[in-house]
Amino acid sequence: MKLAVKFVVLLLVASTLACKTSGPSTPAVGLPRYDGGTGANTSAVIGDLVVCRPIGVFASAGGTMLFLLSLPFTWPAGNIEKSAQTLVHQPLYYTFQRPLGDFND
């Protein structure tokens, strides 16, 4: 059990560091930059698709698991909505609803 919690925490930290530090880079000189109207360049989109989205899937699953484990403590305190927002909704939004290559949220 402790190993699973350590793994989830490590995964969340790694995903945060990997996705927040891989911002947009400048394109090569002379090559046109196509962003599809989102402001993201090709390397940011590829990095997001290959690195951040798969990590986000695991972070979503880990957050859901932590939310379920925390229910006995959050329910009596009345903090179910706040813990659900932090542990479930935010990782799901980051993984499935955020535009590719958009690291601003």
Query: Residue 74: left if φ>0, alpha if ψ -120 to 50, beta else—which one?
Result: alpha
Supply 103's token pair.
């690291």
Tell me what pLDDT residue 72 has.
94
Any domain includes 17:
no
As averages over each run of 10 residues, the pLDDT of the chain (105 residues) reads 66 59 49 54 87 93 95 93 94 90 76
Any domain includes 79:
yes
pTM (2 decimals)?
Answer: 0.57
As a whole number of angstroms, the distance between CA 27 and CA 62 comes to 35
Any domain includes 2:
no
Any domain includes 41:
no
Going by the DSSP 8-state scheme, the letter that residue 89 receives in this structure is I
